[in-house]
Amino acid sequence: MNQKSLYERLGGYDGLTAFANDLLPRLQADSQLGRFWQNRGDDGIAREKQLLIDYLCSVTGGPMYYTGRDMKTTHKGMKINEEDWALFLQHAGATMELLQVPKQECDEVVTFVLGLKEDIVEQ
């Protein structure tokens, strides 16, 4: 019963930072998703990345305390649609593949992320 937390199995802070460092530039460079960062300054993007890292660390069982807003509030009014969501999932999958995230951990992450869809995608 001494199974490590998902946080530990994903490589802890460094592993989740590597994930954010690969994923965010993918999303920003995407011809469709890049619109969400079009008018953001470098400081705002850096803050967003740190909030993402803190969030991921917190929800995977790590020692970080997430001080950001909940996902529904954060994404309200962004007009994220089904196509945006599908592209995000493709980029997240490519990042996990690049980082060689094992299947079990990948499946756990996917299950968690899919549970956020209702709070992120506007119907």
Contact 22, 91 (CB under 8 A): no
What global pTM score does this model have? 0.92
Q: Which amino acid is residue 46, in one-letter code?
A: A
Average pLDDT of the chain is 95
pLDDT beyond 60 at 1 = no
CA 79 to chain centre: 18
Q: Tell me the residue length of the chain.
A: 123
Alpha carbon distance 30, 62 (integer Å): 30
Q: What percent of the chain has pLDDT over 70?
A: 98
Section 54-65 average pLDDT: 95
- pLDDT given for residue 120 in this prediction: 97
Average pLDDT over residues 58-83: 94
- Report how far residue 79's alpha carbon sits from residue 123's, in angstroms, rounded to the nearest whole number: 9
Q: Could you tell me the domains of the chain?
A: 11-120 (1.10.490.10)
- Rounded to a whole number of angstroms, the distance between the first and last alpha carbons of the chain is 41
